[in-house]
Amino acid sequence: MKFGMNSLAWQSPVTEIERLLALSKKYDCDIFELALEDFSTLDPDRINKAVEESGVLIKTVTGIHSDVRDISADTEELRQLGIQYAKDMVDFAAQVGAEVIAGPIYSAVGKARQQTPEEVELKWKYGVENMKVVADYGAKKGIRFAIETLNRFETDFINTVEQGVEYIHRIGYDNVGFLLDSFHMGIEENDVPAAIRLAGKEARIFDFHSSANNRGTPGLDNTAWGPIRDAIKDVGYDDYCIIESFTPDCVEIAKAASVWRPFSESPESIARDGIPFLKQLFAE
């Protein structure tokens, strides 16, 4: 297992990649997960140089889909903008050596509505057919997609692993699997370890977010980490274990995720306390 931080815990959008990778090295991270929010602030050459200097690899990147880009949106314009954003993420990931694009690629974050059965069917139609386009584009560049199930307050689309399995099966591409997030599963799943085992059995797991129940520091929360670890080991997953927390300064995600306060003593303390906890947890 390789352990690391998601950039949203420290800066949004990312403009100081050298500082963030230096922090990752300081706190013994193996990898760094980079949120691709504003491509204008991200220079692949600069990032690759910082990766080489720090020795901390960027193996996964995350995307933030919004109401201006959404592959399952009601309007063709927004769907096309969502497809293009996903393709841009693929191109960028390939440039910085990342292998996985993770997140709720199927929909804008924060889109939660009551819908008729006909509207739900149309959402699935657009979400599946456009994800096939994106998956095909990524496959040609060796990029995998990790679909994240989000809780009901952040999306009206894919909330549970069972729904995610159906979505992944409908897409039908081997480079599409799961990003499992302990925070979201803790809200939506009746049995989190069972959901992890279902994801591993019926589909594929490409990324794991070890998010505290209060989105602060893993190990300083009320999550039952032992059974989660056991389930992850049972399905043979041992790739990426990322701490995801947020800062109120991340305007785009803050409203959708209800980030009204800092979640820990300091942004650095999340890695300082969380990374050793996770490494010890999975060593047992």
What total number of domains does the chain contain?
1
Q: Quickly list H helices, 55-113.
A: 76-96
| Domain extent at residue 40 | 2-283
Q: How many CB atoms sit inside 10 A of residue 80's CB? A: 14
Q: Round to whole Å and give the CA distance between 49 and 32.
A: 14
Q: Are 102 and 148 contacting, i.e. CB atoms less than 8 angstroms apart? A: yes
pTM over 0.85: yes
Q: Mean pLDDT over residues 246-271, rounded?
A: 78
Whichever domain contains 271, its CATH number is 3.20.20.150
What's the confidence (pLDDT) of residue 121?
97
Q: Which of 47-56, 60-69, 91-100, 215-224 has the lowest mean pLDDT?
A: 60-69
What's the confidence (pLDDT) of residue 64?
79
Tens of pLDDT, residues 68-126: 899 999 999 999 999 999 999 999 999 999 999 999 999 998 888 999 999 999 999 99
